[in-house]
Structure formats: C-alpha cells, structure tokens
Structure 1
Amino acid sequence: MSVDLTGKKVLVTGGSRGIGRGVVLALARAGARVVTCYRAESPAVESLQKELTGIGGDHHVVQADVSVPEDVDRLVAAAKDRFGTLDAVVNNAGVISHIPFAELPLDEWRRVVDTNLTAPFLVIQKALPLLSAGSSVITVGSRAAVVGIPMRAHYTASKAGLIGLTRSLMKELGPQGIRVNLVAPGVIETEEFETAPPEEVARVRSRYQGLTGLGRLGRPDEIAGAVLFLASDLSAYVTGETIHVDGGI
C-alpha cells in the first residue's frame, strides 16, 4: 500500500542527511510539499536539492540550526511564507556523542539537550499557529530512550524527554484535533557507515544482527515509512504513541 500525501505541506528539521533525508525524499515522492533545513553547507545539501528537483514539486531547503531560537523563528517563517499553513511537522534534527558520564562537560550536555529536546519544543511552539485540526506532529526519538546506553547519558536523557513531551502535547493539543506521536528508531544504517572504518562497520553489523529479531540493521526509508503513516489520514486515530521501528531489538 502506498501513502498518498498529495498537497500536504510538511516541515522537516535536519533533512540533508541520514534519517531526515530519507524522510524528506519519501514525503516528496508521496506528493507532499516539503520545507526542510540543514545546519551547515555540505555536498549533502546540494545533492538533496538535486534529488528534490528530480522528484518535482514545491520543495525548499533552507539553512537553520534548530538549537538556535532565532534560526527556528526564521525556519518557521520560511514555511509560513511559502505554504501559509502546515499539515505536519517532523522533528528529526539531532546530535549525539559518546562520553563517560564522569567526564561529560556541561557545554556538551547542553548542546545535545538543546538540539534533541529543546529544539522540538521550540519548533512545535512556533509552528503551532500554522497547524489546525487534522495536523500531525511527529518527532524522531530513539529506542535508546527506554534502554539506556553507557557513555550516552546526555543523548538518552534528551530522547527520553521527548516521550514525556509527546504524551503531554497529545493531551493538550488533542482538543484542537492535532495528533502528536513519536517514532523511535533502532540502529539505522545511514551514510555514516560509508565513511566509517570497515572493521567498525562489520562489528556493528555483527552485533545488531544478533540482537534484532529481523537479524539486520534498519534503513532510513524504513523510518520514513512510519513517518508517512503518521503524516497521513491512515493514522487519524493515533496519538500519543511511540512507534518503535527497530527490527525487534
């Protein structure tokens, strides 16, 4: 079954790489009009723009660092200027680092929490006037939020916070007809695997093949499938949920 999002207007944060890129391209192929952002110039931004041009449709790629409140204002203003209203917001932008808790600097804690948790708060709040009954707010969390991972206390805490944010907003925005849900990926094979040392890639694949029910890592387009479902009318009675897309880890 294909999902038809023709005419839907969607804002996606962090769309130039990884899961975000997969989501942006899937939305565009499904007929949605997409505004997305990137933090810094890179070949990935240029290639995304080319792919969107090839797909066709009304899409816009703008620079914005969602950990900066002024950039969030500018991003949402760009969506308003181009589309007027929004049918869905996808909070995807995120960062991670691997540091023992005893050595974790406060600045790094703030960087990760600001990007992974505070930014979705800002984006949703600023985009709220553009949303109406039937709109969908989707945030990309992590399976790690309910598991915990050594050396990622800051990352795990930020992703766990998204569960509480989702549950609270589900109740607060529900009377307005706005749905709020979370997609929690497992280990996803993004373009980072292409630049990592081959032995490290082999180690990760081997480990998670043994830990997942499906015996493999996930792909960005498989996360995008859950996002498309939540952005569509197929999920009209789904809200406040965390959908784990992790291969049965």
Structure 2
Amino acid sequence: MSSKSDVPGVAIITGAASGMGRATALAFAVAGVSGLALLDLNEAGLTETKDLVHKDHPSLKIELYTVDVTSESSIISAYTRAKEAFSRIDYAVHCAGIVTWQGASADCTLDAFDKQNNVNYRGLWLCAREALRIMRTQPLDHEAYPDANIAPHRGQKGSIINISSGLAIASQSGIPAYCGAKAGVCAITRSDALDYATQRIRVNAVLPGVVDTYMTNSSPEVRQFMMENPVKKATPMRRLGIPEEIADVCVFLSGNKASFVTGASWSVDGGFCAGFSYE
C-alpha cells in the first residue's frame, strides 16, 4: 500500500452488495485502503462488488460476510470475523437500509413499523456498537501506520459513518417509520460521538437526498413519483444524486483530513434540506 493513501487501513461496509454501499467500497479502494470487509444479506451482490473492486485493484484483500442486520448474532459474528481477518478495523460505513411505503401512521401496521426500525435504526445501532467495541481496543492509526505520515493530533482509533437520510430533517408524507428511524440514526450518531471523542473515535452521519439506486427505481411508479415530487419539486439541483457522490463524502469523513469533525450530520442532497427553490 502506498504511503500516500488518504485512508490507510481497513474499511468495513454494510449494504455493500449494491447502491451506495457498493460505491463506497469502490471509493475506498481508489483512496488506498489495504483491506475491505463487505457485508450484506445479498451474497451474489457481494460477490459482484468484490469482482468490480478487483477489476482495478486485483491485490486488495477483500472478505465477504453474508449478514442479516436484524440479527444481533449475525452482526457480532461478522464483525468478530472481520477483526480476526484484518487485525483491526479503521473505518466503518453503515449503508444497509430499506424503505417501504407503509402509509401514514393511522394506516401503518406494526409489522411495517418494526421492519423499518429493525433494519434502519436498530440494525445500524447494532453494527455501530460492534465497530465501537473493536475500535476502542486499537492503537491510534498514526502508530499503526507510521509510513502514512499521519500527524499525531489527527490520529484516530477509528471512524464511523452512519447513513441517515435527508428525511431525518425534512419528513415526507406516507413513510413516518422511515423518517423516524433515520432521525434516530442522527441522534445516536451524536450520542456516540460524545461518548467516544476522548477515545479518539469519530462518529458522523451522512444524509443523502434522492439518489439513483434501487430504492428510487424499484418500479416505474416509484421512479415517476420520485422524479415528479422530491426531485423536481424539492431538490434545488433538480436531479438525482448518484451513489458515487455519497461515497466520496463517506471516504472523506472517514479519513484523517476530517480529523476535527465528529457528531456531524452532513447533507449530500442537492440542496433538499436547505429549503425551497422556485426557479
């Protein structure tokens, strides 16, 4: 690995089989990590992500873990195995998430509510908990990677990025459980940032807007709704984001160049959360 790497070390990424998780894996590879631990329930998608990374980075060590983020034991097993495989975890990006159109609260079933929260909020917290448990036991990265020339004041034991949503700030009708879960992600991000700042672990959230992934293209009807409403009416840039635009921010926030950033919620949304634009 080159000493010029922006992100020396190992990244673990959930939701890595597609979309923003896959784009984040590719972005970390370009930025110079020495290893990737990729997690998802979709085993075939994980293999495809690995093949895409190896196309341009054939020697990069990659481990795949089929994980159900609603299962505590599944998560603990994957993070433990990743720690054993790489000896340390420097960056964790938690991208795994779902959205279902369950309707307004009076029409939302308990099963639909629980499904949203078990993946988007509880599942993410379980992943973040395991990352924190690993990172707090590690030496600082400027000690672990002396050739990377990391200034001691920028050194960290680890960095966590939790993927929330612009809908944590500006809610959308018809998906209250999703909006609530994503707001919860921002809250636990701030709490973890406070609790682990003195242990030199940074915790931040990234809030994507409407991004061109399966979630916005699961059917022609969903795509049409997205384009005509949150994109054309509520996104000042009047376009979808692309997964790479989210991934690049995740990599920057993970690395030592963002060493004084913790507890933040970064909007990457084409202006969605900034307000209305009538142009």
TM above 0.5, one fold? yes
Residue in 1 that maps onto 2:12: 11
Deviation at 1:245, TM superposition (A): 0.2
- Conserved in 1, the CA contact under 8 Å of 2:160 and 2:204? yes
Task: Could you tell me which runs of 5 or more consecutive residues in structure 2 were left unpaired when the two chains were aligned.
Answer: 141-155, 273-279
How many pairs were matched up? 245
Please say which structure displays the higher CA radius of gyration: 2
For the residue of structure 1 that corresponds to 2:198, the secondary structure is helix
Residue in 1 that maps onto 2:42: 40
1:155 to 148, 155, 178: 178
Deviation at 1:205, TM superposition (A): 2.6
Residue in 1 that maps onto 2:277: none
Q: Distance in 1 between matches of 2:117 and 2:101?
A: 14
1:51 aligns with 2:52: yes
Q: Distance in 2 between matches of 1:163 and 1:189?
A: 22
User: Alpha-carbon deviations, 1:90-132, whole Å to 9, x = none?
Assistant: 1110111011222222122112111111122211222223214
Residue in 2 that maps onto 1:211: 234
Q: 1:149 to 1:105 in 2, by over 3 A?
A: same
Deviation at 1:215, TM superposition (A): 2.0
- Conserved in 2, the CA contact under 8 Å of 1:12 and 1:92? yes
Q: Distance in 2 between matches of 1:11 and 1:45?
A: 13
| 1:70 partner amino acid | S
Residue in 1 that maps onto 2:143: none
2:134 to 105, 130, 133: 130
- Conserved in 1, the CA contact under 8 Å of 2:16 and 2:25? yes
Residue in 1 that maps onto 2:200: 177
Deviation at 1:11, TM superposition (A): 0.8
Taking only aligned residues, the RMSD between alpha carbons, in angstroms, comes to 1.9
For the residue of structure 2 that corresponds to 1:62, the secondary structure is strand
- Conserved in 2, the CA contact under 8 Å of 1:84 and 1:130? no
Instruction: Select between 4-13 and 138-147 the one with higher mean Cα deviation.
Output: 4-13
Q: 1:244 to 1:64 in 2, by over 3 A?
A: same
Residue in 1 that maps onto 2:267: 244
Q: Distance in 2 between matches of 1:206 and 1:154?
A: 23
Q: Distance in 1 between matches of 2:7 and 2:15?
A: 22
1:83 to 75, 83, 86: 86
For the residue of structure 2 that corresponds to 1:211, the secondary structure is coil
1:70 to 60, 70, 73: 73
| 1:204 partner amino acid | M
- Conserved in 2, the CA contact under 8 Å of 1:209 and 1:217? no
Deviation at 1:191, TM superposition (A): 4.5
Q: Distance in 1 between matches of 2:132 and 2:266?
A: 23
| 2:124 partner amino acid | P
User: Normalising by structure 2, what TM-score?
Assistant: 0.82
User: Alpha-carbon deviations, 1:152-203, whole Å to 9, x = none?
Assistant: 1111111000111011111100010111100000000114566632x75355
Residue in 2 that maps onto 1:143: 166
Q: Distance in 2 between matches of 1:240 and 1:200?
A: 33
Q: Distance in 2 between matches of 1:8 and 1:38?
A: 21
Residue in 1 that maps onto 2:149: none
Residue in 2 that maps onto 1:223: 246
Percent identical residues:
27
User: Alpha-carbon deviations, 1:127-161, whole Å to 9, x = none?
Assistant: 22321441111100000011112221111111000
User: Normalising by structure 1, what TM-score?
Assistant: 0.91
| 1:212 partner amino acid | T
